[in-house]
């Protein structure tokens, strides 16, 4: 299980690094064990890519939900602030302008 986590994390890091100039999509990876060194085959890369894209989409949805939740919180705070400002404006008499006598 540890090797699978390492493989998915390494693939995600590789994909994230692809935004940098000079880092292409093509890569080679090898799994190094006690008794063998095994190349990661293209079918595994294809599956890793599908899993990565699915995970990235889910992460984006979660981020969007969090942003929306925070926006709703701020909207509610704003409404409460306006209500309390309105209440305090009603309680506080308006200042009387100075008389214009000479």
* Residue 29 near residue 40, CB atoms below 8 Å: yes
What is residue 31's three-state secondary structure?
A: strand
Looking at per-residue pLDDT, the higher value among 77 and 90 belongs to 77
Plot region of 24 (φ>0 → left; ψ -120 to 50 → alpha; else → beta): beta
More confident residue, 95 or 18: 18
On the question of pLDDT at 94 being above 60, the answer is yes
Give the model confidence (pLDDT) of 14-67 as tens digits.
999 999 999 988 888 899 989 999 999 999 999 999 999 999 999 999 999 999
- Three-state secondary structure call for residue 26: coil
pTM of the predicted structure, to 2 decimals: 0.60
Q: Where are the domains of the chain?
A: 2-82
Taking phi over 0 as left and psi of -120 to 50 as alpha, with beta for the rest, 44 belongs to alpha
């Amino acid at each position: 299980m540890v090797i699978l986590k390492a493989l998915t994390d390494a693939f995600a890091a590789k994909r994230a690094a692809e935004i940098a100039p000079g880092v292409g999509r093509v890569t080679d990876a090898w799994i190094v064990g006690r008794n063998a060194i095994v190349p990661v085959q293209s079918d595994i890369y294809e599956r890793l890519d599908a899993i990565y894209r699915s995970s990235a989409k889910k992460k984006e949805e979660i981020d969007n939900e969090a942003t929306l939740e925070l926006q709703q919180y701020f909207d509610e705070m704003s409404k409460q602030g306006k209500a309390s400002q309105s209440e305090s404006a009603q309680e506080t008499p308006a200042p009387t302008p100075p008389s214009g006598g000479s």
